[in-house]
Amino acid sequence: MPGPPASLEAVFTEAFADLREVRESTTYALSTHEVGIVTSVSTGIARVAGLPNVGFEELLRFPGEIYGIAFNIDEDDIGVVLLGNYWQLQAGDDVERTGRVVDVAVGEGLLGRIIDPLGRALDGQGALVSDERLPIERPATAIMDRARVSEPLQTGLKVIDALIPIGRGQRELILGDRQTGKTAIALDAILNQRGQDLVCVYCAIGQRASAVAKAVAVLRDNEALAYTVVVVTEGNQPPGLSYIAPYAATSIAEYFMEAGRDVLIVYDDLTQHARAYRELSLLLRRPPGREAFPGDIFYIHSRLLERATHLREERGGGSLTALPIIETEAQNIAAYIPTNLISITDGQIYLSPTLFELGVLPAVDIGQSVSRVGGKAQRAAYRVAAGDLKLAYAQFEELETFVRFGARLDEATRQVLEHGRRIRACLKQPAFAPVSVPAQITLLLALGEGLFDSLPLEKMPAAEQALYDAAATLPETICERFISANTLSDEDRQAVLDVVRQALLPFQPVADDAAIAAKEGAS
């Protein structure tokens, strides 16, 4: 039975009082959203109007979860570099500011994964597991936070570790014509880091999908993918992704470096990166310069490679070693982009098409290759074993050119030529077959002593393999001194050479008794 009207009025009064109290205690947070309009869309870029407060390189959101970077901030409109498939965009679409710059996921969860520069997984293994994101553009380490480059990064390639050593924290350029083995050298360096507690980042920039698949297959087959992060942009993707790819890969590498670990990053290749930037710049109507590249092409590469360094112990002692790759045309290393990068990096490894055609693999031209860190980042045993090797090989190459004119040779010159041919044969190496440090030093000691000079050239591969097998039997104490900072003693050197002589004994030529008798009779 309903109560009296007075009680009903009290209920309404109490209810309205509660509503009034809730309304007065509630504060509404107002958020502003700047929304602009697409005025035009072309290959890889868009023109946007109506965003007066946008910042340089700010990330903008387009319909369909497509993102772009504000690249040209003009008085009337904004030139935006698009980072996705822009086919469905059209004039009149809304554009929204995000208030942040481009960033990428970083962390241990990226090891063994294949991603794009925006941090999206491409390997079909689910979403990335990461608790942190870093901007792709970060300032390089301050000078006072850097330490000198003193620890070697072994590539497993005899010609590089012995003659063109690379240190942890160095930037070593790999350049050469098409199909001369540039990527193979970089992959060899990654494969040789297995078991070395070193993280690798392989950045494929604008590559063919088949080339990327082949590189990933090599890493997977050699169990190197577990400690490698692969960042991929393919040639048919927008140029904006190719432009940001090396910066994103470097931020991923810097995460591990700042955690105190040693990192190797490969940029394959920066020629495609420069071409992508040139395409974007021309579309945005930036003034072209030499070879139609914009004037700041040097800056985009220098600010990238300056991030490679060796940190001081107070900063964790980590290092970031960079191996940028450049493709030359008709062996022209004086072109615009190669000369830029040669001046930025700490040395270069030049691959010669002539050597490649002769079957000298890896086709490293020792005369035009250099490491500006050099022996300061090389193990002491290497300096002892390979001290005169580069000079002897250079003399051989000069004499070999001279001999082509049919000159008559004396015995000393003939010995130099024979010794040089053995050096060339020993520096040959198949792809994806790195050689250990003890085996390399044993081989270099044998070369320096001329133990191969009496062997026929056709027996060199078998003799070299026998030497590697013998190096595996060396005492553990000698192998440890190979790796330590101490130089080899005379006793260690003699012990190694005795083992080598015994291993090469079956390959020595057998003297012909009749020939010996004839020679004695003539004398």
- Helix runs in 428-458, H state only: 437-448
| Contact in structure between 135 and 59 (CB atoms under 8 Å) | no
Residue 370: strand pairing partners: 348
3-class DSSP assignment, residue 446: helix
Tokens (6 digits) for 211: 């080339």
Helix (H) or strand (E) holding 495, with range, is: helix 490-504
CA distance 238 to 116: 12
DSSP 334-368: TSHHHHHHHHHSSEEEEEPHHHHHTT-SS-B-GGG
| Cα separations in angstroms, 206 against 85, 145, 175, 358, 403 | 15, 34, 17, 30, 44
Angle at 193 between CA 188 and CA 195, to 5 degrees: 140
DSSP 416-435: HHHHHHHHHHHH---TT---
| Contact in structure between 438 and 479 (CB atoms under 8 Å) | yes
DSSP code at position 142: P
| Contact in structure between 454 and 460 (CB atoms under 8 Å) | no
3-class DSSP assignment, residue 306: coil
What lies within 8 Å, CB to CB, of 160 at 6+ separation is: 166, 185, 349, 362, 364
| Contact in structure between 199 and 262 (CB atoms under 8 Å) | yes
- Where residue 430 falls (left for φ over 0; alpha for ψ -120 to 50; beta otherwise) is beta
> Does the annotation count 421 as an active-site position?
no
Token pair 């079909």 in the structure block, residue: 124
Tokens (6 digits) for 151: 């620890």
CA 165 vs. chain centroid, Å, equals 15
Q: How many alpha carbons fall within 13 Å on the CB side of residue 393?
A: 22
What lies within 8 Å, CB to CB, of 520 at 6+ separation is: none
| Cα separations in angstroms, 99 against 81, 328, 345, 458, 502 | 16, 40, 35, 67, 71
CA distance 320 to 170: 8
Catalytic residue among 61, 286, 372, 501: 372
CA distance 272 to 276: 6
Residue 323: strand pairing partners: 266
| Contact in structure between 153 and 166 (CB atoms under 8 Å) | yes
Token pair 């959203």 in the structure block, residue: 33
Would you name the residues annotated as active-site residues?
Answer: 372
